[in-house]
Chain A
Amino acid sequence: DQQVKQNSPSLSVQEGRISILNCDYTNSMFDYFLWYKKYPAEGPTFLISISSIKDKNEDGRFTVFLNKSAKHLSLHIVPSQPGDSAVYFCAASEYGAQKLVFGQGTRLTINP
């Protein structure tokens, strides 16, 4: 049962444009969401998180939006830079479950 889904395995964006990565979840008990970035042969790096009491959180070029009614979150990167090329994972947790549930990841490629 895939509770967190990233339906786009890959995304290609031109440098300077906006990158939008999407994530859907099925468990309505999830109340904390995170985005991680992963380069090859490295561990995932925490990017940004959002609590279910908010619908938006911003950190520099990264903004995460949460739509609880649609059980959907997205990560916006503006402007996209070549160093943003990586695999992006969304993750979710619910209080008491004591684990993070990860999506399958989306490979973002920023083209010059």
Chain B
Amino acid sequence: EAGVTQSPTHLIKTRGQQATLRCSPISGHTSVYWYQQALGLGLQFLLWYDEGEERNRGNFPPRFSGRQFPNYSSELNVNALELEDSALYLCASSRGGDRPDTQYFGPGTRLTVL
């Protein structure tokens, strides 16, 4: 069974640009979660998508947005990039439902903002 995949592995952008990160969940999983791990910090919850809808978002500004496609894959978009957006962005998937079930993580996308 294939795990959660993310692309690209690394992404380098300059301040003010937009970044798009992609995630494919484990087959059969309908929920996708996005987390940010800045250097030296824990995982901060960004967004949760389930069955194509945004179910919850963390304490991040609106320039962090995303969507989930009919095949349950997901995109995270970060607009107007700032230097402090440099971080490892992790995607996780789980079976759908009313609560976050055990989540399985992808390898992450390392975003560097110059």
Contacts and interface: CB of A to CB of B under 8 A. Distances in A.
Interface string A86-101: 0001010101111111
Interface string A38-75: 00011111100100000000000000000000000000
B90 A44 contact: yes
Contacts, number: 62
A95 B48 CA distance: 15
Interface stretch (A11-19, A76-84, A102-110): A102-110
Interface stretch (B68-76, B79-87, B98-106): B98-106
B21 to A, nearest CB: 13
B99 A32 contact: yes
A102 B104 CA distance: 14
A34 interface: yes
Looking at chain A, what size class is its interface with the partner chain?
20 to 34
> Which of A45, A46, A89 has most B Cβ within 10 Å?
A46
Given A43-B4, A93-B100, A99 B105 contact: no
A34 B33 CA distance: 16
Contact of A46 (B56, B98, B102): B102
A41 B9 CA distance: 10
Contact of A98 (B35, B48, B91, B106): B48
B99 A43 contact: no
B8 interface: no
The 10 closest A-B pairs by CB, nearest first: A43-B105, A98-B56, A102-B43, A104-B42, A99-B45, A44-B105, A102-B42, A43-B107, A43-B106, A93-B100
5 contacts: A41-B107, A43-B92, A46-B102, A93-B99, A99-B58
